[in-house]
């Protein structure tokens, strides 16, 4: 595992205008940042997801800025809690993620961009990457890349799929999605982990794999 260095991190809340929808986000930029990772959470979650925040902290320690954002407005989140359907509107989520990507050059100038998607957010990340070729890399944690549908073949960014060994159904869906992708794509299976990676050491392994993938993709090397 690569060394981790203590870094000073500047944090601020931002609002992202996604085609008229005001979406809240938390932008964290470590000193000497060499890239920025935007997180897309899954259905029923938000930018406050403790698992994504844990991974984001690990990315910051490795020199990446992070953007954790809500993909639904507060009203939509309330509707989602009742009906549970917008979290699976991959086209809508991808459009909003793409809007955030378009705003990143003004927020984190000159930094290569990576996407980290969890659950249904992974499909949104891949769908966004399919229409934003500047994306440097995509990582999926326990994701549903299959929900991205036909656009999987349009993704050019190197993609890492991380799945728990005990998440049998999702593992099979990831393997099926891989067969439809033409970009560089790799599957990493975390031993003993289930869908939420709550087992001891599982989320740390996710962070290690994701950090290594982003570093390789953007040519980033940690600095002291």
User: Residue ranges of the domains in the chain?
Assistant: 9-218
Q: Residues 81, 3: contact at Cβ < 8 Å? A: no
pLDDT higher than threshold 90 for residue 153: yes
Q: What pLDDT is attached to residue 223?
A: 38
Q: Residues 120, 148: contact at Cβ < 8 Å? A: no
Q: What pLDDT is attached to residue 46?
A: 72
pLDDT higher than threshold 50 for residue 204: yes
Q: What pLDDT is attached to residue 27?
A: 96
Q: What pLDDT is attached to residue 168?
A: 97
**Residues in Cβ contact with 105 at an 8 Å cutoff, skipping those fewer than 6 apart:** none
Q: What pLDDT is attached to residue 147?
A: 95
Question: Could you tell me which CATH number the domain at 9-218 has?
Answer: 3.40.50.1820
pLDDT higher than threshold 80 for residue 9: yes
Q: Which residues share a beta bridge with 38?
A: 67, 115
Above pLDDT 90, what percent of the chain? 70
20 confidence band (pLDDT: 50, 70, 90): confident
70 confidence band (pLDDT: 50, 70, 90): confident
Q: What is the pTM of this model?
A: 0.90
């Amino acid at each position: 595992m690569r060394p981790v260095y203590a870094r000073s991190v500047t944090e601020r809340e931002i609002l992202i205008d996604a085609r008229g929808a005001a979406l809240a986000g938390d932008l964290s930029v470590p000193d000497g940042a060499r890239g920025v990772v935007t997180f897309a959470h899954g259905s029923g979650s938000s930018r406050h997801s403790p698992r994504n925040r844990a991974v984001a902290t690990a990315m910051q320690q490795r020199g990446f800025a992070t953007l954790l954002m809500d993909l639904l407005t507060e009203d939509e989140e309330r509707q989602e809690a009742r009906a549970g359907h917008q979290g699976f509107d991959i086209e809508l989520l991808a459009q909003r993620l793409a809007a955030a990507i378009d705003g990143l050059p003004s927020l984190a100038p000159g930094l290569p961009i990576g996407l980290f998607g969890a659950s249904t957010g992974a499909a949104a990340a891949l769908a966004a990457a399919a229409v934003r070729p500047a994306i440097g890399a995509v990582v999926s944690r326990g994701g549903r890349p299959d929900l991205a549908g036909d656009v999987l073949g349009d993704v050019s960014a190197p993609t890492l799929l991380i799945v728990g060994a005990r998440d049998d159904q999702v593992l099979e869906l990831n393997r099926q999605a891989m067969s439809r992708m033409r970009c560089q794509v790799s599957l990493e299976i975390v031993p003993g982990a289930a869908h939420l990676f709550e087992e001891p050491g599982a989320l740390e392994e996710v962070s290690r794999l994701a950090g290594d993938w982003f570093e390789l993709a953007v040519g980033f090397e940690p600095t002291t």
